[in-house]
């Protein structure tokens, strides 16, 4: 992908901050776009940016815009106000899956947990299935929570990779309302803009 390539001069691998738990879309983006860096998870966008400012990581990858819902907040505003340099950006396809503990059936699911931005991208599908949306701090964090609870009426909306990470069964792929659902990620560094 243009602009997210290997550092110049053969620089050694570093750490790339992202918001969320392992298996989140931002984690996937780090793995796919910065395979030479170690992904470094932070619970909030603020914490990921603070880690970059403190030098705990060499860069941070954050989602700022989605083709279905527009700006991804609070990330977009935090990036604009951060004073950090945007060194590259990339649009990535976003495919949401509905996942639950093994043995769960789609007909029994009452709630689906996820990050508010992800839930906003699948309002129509969840409504048509009669499933109530429940906000969580992160897509993969929701998958982890659903897995730990073991409640067969609870599901998570997250990337398919999260089902593997948290031992969940995918009940339905592509629950996003738009087949062309994409998110723009920006890569930030400490260098002043």
How does DSSP assign 100-123, residue by residue? ESTT--GGG--EEEE-HHHHHTTH
97-172 matches 14-94+180-192 in CATH topology? yes
- Quote the tokens at residue 29: 């983006």
Distance CA 90, CA 86 (A): 11
- Quote the tokens at residue 86: 């945007």
Domain boundaries, the chain: 14-94+180-192, 97-172
- Quote the tokens at residue 16: 């790339």
The SS3 assignment for 138 reads coil
Q: Is 183 a catalytic residue?
A: yes
Determine how many CB atoms are found less than 10 A away from the CB of residue 121.
24
What phi and psi, each to the nearest 5 degrees, are found at residue 123?
-55, -50
Note whether 1 and 8 are within 8 A (CB). Answer: no
Q: Is 45 a catalytic residue?
A: no
Distance CA 7, CA 139 (A): 29
Low-confidence residues in the chain, pLDDT < 50 = 1-12, 192-193
Note whether 152 and 171 are within 8 A (CB). Answer: no
**Alpha-helical segments (H) within the chain:** 25-33, 45-54, 75-81, 116-120, 123-128, 139-149, 160-165
- Quote the tokens at residue 76: 């977009």
* 150-to-11, 28, 89, 105 alpha-carbon distances in Å: 44, 25, 38, 13
Contacts of 50 by beta carbon, 8 Å cutoff, 6+ apart: none
What is the fold of 14-94+180-192? Answer: D-Maltodextrin-Binding Protein; domain 2 (3.40.190)
What is the fold of 97-172? Answer: D-Maltodextrin-Binding Protein; domain 2 (3.40.190)
Single out the catalytic residue among 25, 45, 139, 183: 183
pLDDT of residue 65: 94
Distance CA 163, CA 143 (A): 7
């Amino acid at each position: 992908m243009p602009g997210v390539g290997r550092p110049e001069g053969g620089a050694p691998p570093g750490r790339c901050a992202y918001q969320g738990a392992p298996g989140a879309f931002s984690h996937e983006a780090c793995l796919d776009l910065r395979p030479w860096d170690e992904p470094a998870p932070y619970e909030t966008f603020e914490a990921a940016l603070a880690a970059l400012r403190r030098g705990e990581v060499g860069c941070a990858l954050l989602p700022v815009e989605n083709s279905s819902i527009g700006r991804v907040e609070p990330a977009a505003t935090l990036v604009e106000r951060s004073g950090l340099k945007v060194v590259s950006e990339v649009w990535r396809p976003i495919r949401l899956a509905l996942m639950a503990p093994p043995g769960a059936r789609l007909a029994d699911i009452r709630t689906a947990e996820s990050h508010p931005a992800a839930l906003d991208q699948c309002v129509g599908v969840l409504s048509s299935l009669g499933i109530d949306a429940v906000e969580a701090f992160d897509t993969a964090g929701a998958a982890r929570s659903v897995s730990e609870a073991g409640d067969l009426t609870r599901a998570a909306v997250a990337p398919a990779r999260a089902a593997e990470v948290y031992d969940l069964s995918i009940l339905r792929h592509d629950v996003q309302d738009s087949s062309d659902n994409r998110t723009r990620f920006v890569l930030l560094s400490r260098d002043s803009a």
